[in-house]
Structure 1
Amino acid sequence: MRVAAAGMAAIALLATACSESSGSGGGKDGTLVVYTGQAGDYQANFNPFSPSMIEGPGTIFESLFYFNQVRDEPAKPLLGTEYSWNEDGTELSITLRKGVKWSDGEKFTADDVVFTLDMISKHKEMNSTGYKGRAEAVDDTHVRITFDKPSYMDGPQILGKIFIVPEHIWKDIDEPSKDTVRKPVGTGPYTLGEFKGQAFTLKANPGYWDGEPALKQVRYLALSGNQAGADALAAGKIDWQTGPVPDMQNVEKNYPGYKAVTVPLNQTVLMTCANAELGCKGPQTDPAVRRAIYYAMDRTQLNSLAFQNTSSQISPGFVQVETNKELISKKLEENLAPMQPSASKAERILEEAGYTKGSDGIYAKDGQKLALTVRVVSGWTDYITAVDTLAEQLKKAGIKVTPQQSSWNEWSEARGQGNYQLLIDALYPGPSPDPFYIYSYFFSTETTAEVGEAANPNFSRYSNPRVDKALRALKELDPEAAGERQKQYDVIQAELERDMPYIPVMTAGTTSEYHAAKFEGWPTEYNLYAVPAVWSRPDQAQIYKALKPAG
């Protein structure tokens, strides 16, 4: 009854929030109403380099090209039209699109690209791709980036994952890594409209270089969680959400006019603040504890109870099983994480590391019980079910875990600053399925920081010289040198399996429910022109540009 009441209250708020733009999900006036899973009010942050940004990459701020993570195809030109490497991979030349203007009417030039690249070089916390080049503007429409060593793997990241900002505005921002950019100016297909804590809008940019989008407005809603999202979907009050709903196998039957698509993409993990040298505190800083948790999981039960059997197996080396199975190292102890638990193996790992089980069944070491908290966002029902289930599973192996719910804003802040022990989240891939990118994002010393400082996105604070060395080697290798690249993948995967700074859970089946009766042009499993997830950026912008009211 409490859930039902909360759901009805959310619908009442939702109806009020929608009334300005649409009375039936948004189709009549060209407004698409979306729900990203935001639990609690939005806090305005449109800085594309901030880990707590709520929107902007792709929609307001554009990259030079778009790389499709789920389909093998050439990069799609955006602000850039062509690019090429020199023979030894130390120089990247980029041709820019002519006639592009910022949304305030100022001219976009190569100086904006150089300024953006120089800015993230100076501010480590903004440099989530590990960029180390030197950029220069050859003229208004040409940029040259040079590197000290061959840097082929930097190409897709620079071209597809760095969002260009206007020099004429950002040069006056004193602390660009901390500024929330409440009045963003970009080159993208949308501009920021009205902003309130419960909802904000993006409006089609009439001066967009590729023409004003047919989808005139996108309205983002904040609700109380997954249940409220499912209720809103049933009431026809939202048009697109990515997340679980009851009986996901029968969306078309249960939600007339809607369809669903599921794609294996992000890898669900228990993040651990793993590095004591960088300020992490708690039993999870011990690799033995992390490995014990890994073996104590019943992934079959988790998939059934929390994920409606939409998830699939995961490798402890974090190679995508669905797309890159051939890259899984033969040197791993296990190619895939076990679907069944082994409490005895978990206990053996702990006892060999000096833990002893107390009369209450919980292990302890040096007088400290093996008790941990795991952070989860309030309203994320699938993750909440997962951590509640995990708590019961781990208890059987002598590990006490207490779920700790909080708002997304608090959860995101704790993740970025390292103020957590365990936290459930997912690791996302890079601009292509190559595992190099997930390794360089989440396991590189260059993308982390001490506890209390913003890490982006190596939130675990993991630092391993062997992994860093292998990543440097991979950067210099030609992408076609498969044999040499595999040697480096083998090194990295073996280290990750042993250390487990992110404890593998499963590969998530990312499911989106969308209003096919009101809008057409959606990606489907047969036409994955972009990742079909409302929170996947910049994919969401490609989808917005493709949509138009049905009929």
Structure 2
Amino acid sequence: MAGTWVTRGRQIMALMLALAIGLVSTGCNPARFAQASVDVPRLVLSALSDPKTFNPILSQESPNIFSFTFEGLTTTDGISGETVPALAESWEISDDGKILVFTLREGLRWSDGEPLTTDDVVFTYDTLFNPAILTNSRDGFRIGTQGLLPEVSKLDDRRVQFTLPEPFAPMLGNTALNIIPAHILRPTVENLDAQGNPLFLSTWGTDTPARQIVGNGPFQLAQYVPGERVIFERNPYYWQEDAQGNPQPYVEQVVWQIVGSTDTSFFQFRSGGLDMDNVQPDFFSLLKREEERGDFTIYNGGPGLGTNFFAFNLNRASRNGDPLVNPVRSAWFNSVAFRQAISYGIDRQTMVNNIFQGLGQPQTSPISVPSPYYAPPELGIRTYDYDPERAKELLLADGFQYNSTGELLDGAGNRVRFTLITNSGNKIRESIGAQIKNDLSKLGIQVDFQPLAFNALVDRLTDSLDWEALVLGLTGGTEPNGGANVWLLDGALHAFNQNAGPGQDPLEGWQAADWERRIAELYVQAAQVIDEEERFELYKETQQLTQEYLPFTYLINNLSLTAVRNRVKGVKYTALGGALWNIQELKVE
């Protein structure tokens, strides 16, 4: 399971909470787009919610703006999944695997025209590794049982060296980390605010004027109107060009329209003025019938990379003397038998049939199905077919009981009831939550289902830690170490049992289960191993543990489907890269 809000296939697989919505065209009336131009090659895309930050180091969501505005030393080929050059034209790895030397392309520049050198690379990694800066990406670089970080040093203006304490299999792919400009941001790291925190933590928020954001990607930020749109313009200093020497990208402008729901995206795509839409399962049949008339193509990338899951808050800690989770409910949630009963009580096949319209299958692993490290059920991975009677047996054996009206009570007579949250506007997740509420009612459990705005949801997961149960998803990738920030005990996305982050009030009484510690150990070991067969066996054990102890209860793996207007040329669609991984090559007629 991995995911930072997956874009252009070049992520470092540092996991982040995914909105799991598409970038789609939404503008039927050009007058709505203010500075958007109808006279240049343009893509109009959309997302459910506003961006949360313009700072790539601090980003915790997908989709985000950074696939357009920033690049790393390397990227991921959206077809092969291999690591390929980006800002770096080449690299060398020592025989012992501990030293990597990257050579930057000649003449690289930032979108403001300033030179991009190895000073920027060293600054970026120094910032990422700064313990005062909370970021999801750092966990993916921690090496060995001590969690050591690479040393990054400048050899000259074009060569930078990474020195590792030991061989680290994910390191090359990790260098897709977005490089940020030292000449703009260095003072914000070195200077502190009144609370003693680096100014960097509040730099490049979404209140920053768009033109002040300096990047190195194919586009630069041109305008942001909250609640309406983000406009990108082609970066005139972008390094890439075609075989004839023509500068790329060919698309002059990208308009990212902010919509409120996946239904809105669908209706606007179907109206004929849209460029792309992630195909929601309940609209697939209708769109498929309209492909020829609507002059678009539905691309099917096969099993998607992401995960959909249900989870309980297993955190038994307190903050300032107050338990994060009601102790009565926390006792239920921390019972393995209770979690297994819930899993048996969820009807995944009905989800596949009704919510996903047959375009998916039950999910059994945190590791993406297309990954070579995915272990199918045939290799001893536990599954949970719908079996409400088995669920009730587990509950009764665990000390729960039923009253005369069929309500489930714990051993002390407390009604089993909890609040389930997800991000509003995502129709699939809202439907999943509604079905879970209905399924668990058949076990005598009352579920109070409350969709929340995505930013409010993220705040609960990362700041207040005030939640009981959720339905959410994580983006994925082929390298499981992208999930390190989920499975390491102090990982920034160890959401089911999150510890306090830097600058937050500490927790009292935080503890980890033995199986939780074992999964963390396995992720460390698997990153230390170079042999692919040995790595597979280590990751297989993690999948056995996650399915036995259910920190996340996995639900459905859906197909990767996107509808794209035929006027968009050069699309090379895959589940790994989507429709935009090669955006610099796309042309719009």
Q: Same fold (TM over 0.5)?
A: yes
8 Å Cα contact 2:122-2:152 kept in structure 1:
yes
Q: Identity of counterpart residues, as a percentage?
A: 20
Equivalent position of 1:36 in the other structure = 47
In structure 2, what residue type is equivalent to 1:354? Answer: G
* Corresponding residue to 2:345 among 296, 306, 313: 296
2-structure distance, mates of 1:90, 1:144: 10
Instruction: Say if 2:562 is the partner of 1:522.
Output: no
2-structure distance, mates of 1:392, 1:329: 27
Equivalent position of 1:134 in the other structure = 151
Q: 1:545 to 1:503 in 2, by over 3 A?
A: same
Q: Secondary structure at the match of 1:81?
A: strand
Equivalent position of 2:450 in the other structure = 404
Q: How does 1:296-315 map to 2 (within 5 A)?
A: 296-315=345-364
8 Å Cα contact 1:274-1:462 kept in structure 2:
no
8 Å Cα contact 1:284-1:422 kept in structure 2:
no
Q: 1:112 to 1:28 in 2, by over 3 A?
A: same
Q: Deviations over 1:388-436 (max 9, x none)?
A: 1121111112332222122222223223333322222222223xx1334
Q: 1:326 to 1:127 in 2, by over 3 A?
A: closer
Q: How does 1:270-419 map to 2 (within 5 A)?
A: 270-277=310-317, 280-281=324-325, 282=329, 283-315=332-364, 317-324=365-372, 327-328=375-376, 332=380, 334=382, 337-338=383-384, 340-365=385-410, 366-417=412-463, 418-419=465-466
2-structure distance, mates of 1:56, 1:224: 18
1-structure distance, mates of 2:502, 2:79: 32
Q: 1:128 to 1:369 in 2, by over 3 A?
A: farther
Q: Secondary structure at the match of 2:122?
A: helix
2-structure distance, mates of 1:241, 1:462: 41
1-structure distance, mates of 2:39, 2:333: 52
Q: How does 1:106-255 map to 2 (within 5 A)?
A: 106-123=114-131, 125-130=134-139, 131=141, 132-157=149-174, 159-160=175-176, 162-173=177-188, 174-181=198-205, 182=208, 183-197=212-226, 198-210=228-240, 211-244=247-280, 246-254=282-290
Instruction: Say if 2:542 is the partner of 1:492.
Output: yes
Give the gaps of 5 or more residues in structure 1. 1-10, 456-460, 534-539
2-structure distance, mates of 1:224, 1:199: 12
8 Å Cα contact 1:63-1:79 kept in structure 2:
yes
8 Å Cα contact 1:251-1:258 kept in structure 2:
no
Q: Cα distance, 1:27 vs. partner?
A: 7.3
1-structure distance, mates of 2:395, 2:447: 15
Equivalent position of 1:536 in the other structure = none
In structure 2, what residue type is equivalent to 1:548? Answer: K
Q: Deviations over 1:274-319 (max 9, x none)?
A: 232476524434433322221111111111221122122322x433
Q: Cα distance, 1:507 vs. partner?
A: 1.0
Instruction: Say if 2:489 is the partner of 1:445.
Output: yes
Q: Cα distance, 1:189 vs. partner?
A: 0.7
Equivalent position of 1:532 in the other structure = 578
Q: Secondary structure at the match of 1:235?
A: helix
Q: 1:420 to 1:213 in 2, by over 3 A?
A: same
Q: Cα distance, 1:178 vs. partner?
A: 4.5
In structure 2, what residue type is equivalent to 1:251? Answer: L
Q: Secondary structure at the match of 2:361?
A: coil
The two structures have a TM-score, normalised by structure 1, of 0.84
Q: 1:512 to 1:329 in 2, by over 3 A?
A: closer
Q: Cα distance, 1:222 vs. partner?
A: 1.5
In structure 2, what residue type is equivalent to 1:172? Answer: P
The two structures have a TM-score, normalised by structure 2, of 0.79
Equivalent position of 1:77 in the other structure = 85
Give the gaps of 5 or more residues in structure 2. 1-24, 142-148, 189-197, 241-246, 504-510
Equivalent position of 2:21 in the other structure = none
2-structure distance, mates of 1:29, 1:102: 23
8 Å Cα contact 1:120-1:127 kept in structure 2:
no
In structure 2, what residue type is equivalent to 1:119? Answer: T
Q: 1:166 to 1:384 in 2, by over 3 A?
A: same
2-structure distance, mates of 1:12, 1:33: 6
2-structure distance, mates of 1:230, 1:177: 36
1-structure distance, mates of 2:187, 2:63: 23
Q: Secondary structure at the match of 1:59?
A: helix
Q: 1:358 to 1:111 in 2, by over 3 A?
A: farther
Q: Cα distance, 1:454 vs. partner?
A: 8.1
Q: Deviations over 1:484-537 (max 9, x none)?
A: 223322331232122211110011223212211x2211223xxx396216xxxx
2-structure distance, mates of 1:140, 1:347: 66
Q: Deviations over 1:450-497 (max 9, x none)?
A: 466489xxxxx987221222122112111xx23322332233123212
Q: Deviations over 1:187-243 (max 9, x none)?
A: 111011111011110111111111341111111111220111111112123211224
2-structure distance, mates of 1:331, 1:544: 38
Equivalent position of 2:470 in the other structure = 423
Q: Cα distance, 1:380 vs. partner?
A: 1.6
Q: 1:434 to 1:453 in 2, by over 3 A?
A: closer
8 Å Cα contact 1:329-1:490 kept in structure 2:
no
2-structure distance, mates of 1:81, 1:12: 36
In structure 1, what residue type is equivalent to 2:276? Answer: W
8 Å Cα contact 1:135-1:144 kept in structure 2:
yes
Instruction: Say if 2:73 is the partner of 1:101.
Output: no
- Worse overlay, 417-426 or 465-474: 417-426
In structure 1, what residue type is equivalent to 2:396? Answer: E
2-structure distance, mates of 1:13, 1:72: 33
Equivalent position of 2:98 in the other structure = 90
Q: Cα distance, 1:544 vs. partner?
A: 2.3
8 Å Cα contact 1:27-1:519 kept in structure 2:
no
2-structure distance, mates of 1:251, 1:360: 46
* Corresponding residue to 1:473 among 522, 525, 530: 525
Q: Deviations over 1:122-154 (max 9, x none)?
A: 136214252211110111111111122221222
8 Å Cα contact 1:47-1:53 kept in structure 2:
no
8 Å Cα contact 1:251-1:259 kept in structure 2:
no
Q: How does 1:45-84 map to 2 (within 5 A)?
A: 45-49=53-57, 50-52=59-61, 55-68=64-77, 71-72=79-80, 74-84=82-92
8 Å Cα contact 2:375-2:543 kept in structure 1:
no
